Structure 1
């Protein structure tokens, strides 16, 4: 979905396909037809944007066989789908029964992470619509905090991205995504650790920033991508209601005024119940959980208003990947409802759907 910003630029809205379990190209094609095309139909739009997730096996198959790349581009076109951004954070197995800290492996100290990201850049340059010259790829915030600050490969990353641009005429930018508990937990750390280059910047995940109680002043930090997401918020004394969200698949970092925990079970065991908590559990944008729990939808609105005022980025991706652990029977309807919520929020900010 595309929107015209009052300033004249085009803002792209997509939903992230890491919600769908697919590890190979056959699985990717099946999700395009079985999920994404049906979401587009429900929304009644001629063209739907995807924040495509390509696990390492699928990405390598596309790089190795140009015919498969052509086939994927043709499938996107035939289903009325387009791709201007990729989610390069999870490497593989994102919908396995247990993910937790595995999502940060390999981190940016590993050659495999560099190779995968440059593979994704070459793939995206080919998949970009003919009238789009810039794509984005979100990636992990270097590493989980115990790994140190692996920045040694970022120079090679930039050189590889410039080679892609010279070869294809398409600019691909990499967006490092701050997340609680990681080397880059907030935007201040991103500004301190990332080299200043026009091909590198940040992906602002609204859920992550809300959990970290981050403000809305990002200085001159390049914002490559915005992920529209909501965290779970718990008022003081209501923490007992969180037990239903303590699940085994994903990591649910939790923060409050006086402390933090790296997962929800740890938070329930030791954080003070007399404070407001925010938990890294991506909640549907359009629907509140059962009270007394709420979400950080208000923070998301404030973030979108701040980031899209200029706009600072032209790529917006809805990333609620928790539908399966929420036991939602109608994932397609839920994704469509989130995108419909987003189209109304963007309209309220003065953007016009194209």
Structure 2
């Protein structure tokens, strides 16, 4: 779907195909027929955006066989689908029985990661609609935080310079600009926007920037306004927004909350968990972008505006947190479990949908559009305690929720 921002920018909304299990070319074509086209039909739109996740073997085939790439473009067109973004974070095997930290391999100290990302950019340049201003590719935030030696960091930095040069070559060869966004994620070398500034400042802003995942931002208890200002002041563009929600337990010590959280502690994906401690400012009440938005409940007789986030503590996976790896008496827990945008989880859990709304407002609620690619990325439907029987219907409902939030901000449907 496309929308028009008041400043005239075309804003693309779609969903990410990493929710589907497809590791070969035939599987990718099948998911377009079995899922993406039905989603478009449920929404009643003529054109639907789909952010493709293509496993390494598929990307290699498409770059080696131009006829197959043309076939994929033809299938997209025939089914009323368009692609302006690729998710190149998972390399392969994203729906194995156990993925966990393997999703971060190969990392940016490995030549294979650079090769794959540039190949994805070449594929995307061929798939872009003729009237799309540019494409985007999202990738991992350099690496999982360990092991990460100075030598590996230096290798990665050199790879990013080569990435920018390679993207410039692709633009020269094809006439299509593709930007790459590094996606901060809890537990990685870059897990916050402050770390993104530290590690990525000074890169070519015309081709490299940040893929902002709203779930990850919420899990780290980063407030949208401050995070977006930090990136803007550092000259790091938000190349792409992954519209996603985390799970929050306001009282992680409550038996009902722990029971509900246990049901989310599944074996396939990594579910980093964070808690935040809050402290009184000791001064006059202020209007922070923090505790109120974080779901913080102030003590009786106080207001949330009198408190600020003082510390974020974490566990690398939800089972670790539940088994004593994270305190339950300092504040709410937030879990890296991409929850459907439109639906409430098992009580007393909630999602960070309000946080996502503020991210959207920060990027698109002002006089100018600060991001033009939005991708709903709920890849966890299959590992929900009660997986859906109608996946296209669920994805369509998420996209409808996102559409309504965009129109609330004054964007117009641009069919």
What's the TM-score bracket when you normalise by the shorter of the two chains? over 0.9
Matching of residue 231 in structure 1 with residue 222 in structure 2: no
| Alignment coverage as a number of residue pairs | 354
Question: What's 1:339 paired with?
Answer: 399
Shift of 1:16: 0.1
Pairwise CA distance, 1:196: 2.5
Quick check: 1:180 aligned with 2:199?
A: no
* Rg (Cα) greater in structure: 2
Please, which runs of 5 or more residues in structure 1 have no aligned partner?
none
Partner of 1:21: 21
1:212 aligns with 2:220: yes
Question: Which residue of the partner structure matches residue 199 of structure 1?
Answer: 207
Deviations 1:297-333 (A, max 9, x none): 0000001000113211100000000000012221111
Aligned to 2:170: 164
Q: What pairs up with 1:106-145 in 2 under 5 angstroms?
A: 106-145=106-145
The structure 1 segments of at least 4 consecutive aligned residues displaced by more than 4 Å after TM superposition are: none
Find the residue that maps to 1:307 and give its secondary structure.
Answer: helix
Partner of 2:315: 261
Give SS of 2:263's match: helix
Worse overlay, 300-309 or 238-247: 238-247
For 1:216-253, what per-residue CA distance to the aligned partner results, in whole angstroms no more than 9, with x for missing partners?
Answer: 22332211000100000001133412111010000000
Contact 2:161 2:203 in 1 (8 A): no
1:106 counterpart SS class = coil
2:382 partner SS: coil
Match of 1:247 in 2: 266
What is the RMSD of the two structures over their aligned residues, measured on CA atoms?
1.0
* SS of 2:135 mapped into structure 1: strand
CA distance in 2, matches of 1:290, 1:153: 43
**Residues in 2 aligned to 1:91 and 1:202: alpha-carbon distance in whole angstroms:** 19
Q: Distance in 1 between matches of 2:25 and 2:18?
A: 14
Shift of 1:104: 0.2
* Residue 290 of structure 1, CA deviation: 1.9
Structure 1 residues 338-347 or 235-244, which shifts more?
235-244
- Give, in whole Å, the separation in 2 of the partners of 1:184 and 1:307: 21
- Give me the whole-angstrom Cα distance separating, in 1, the residues matched to 2:369 and 2:195: 23
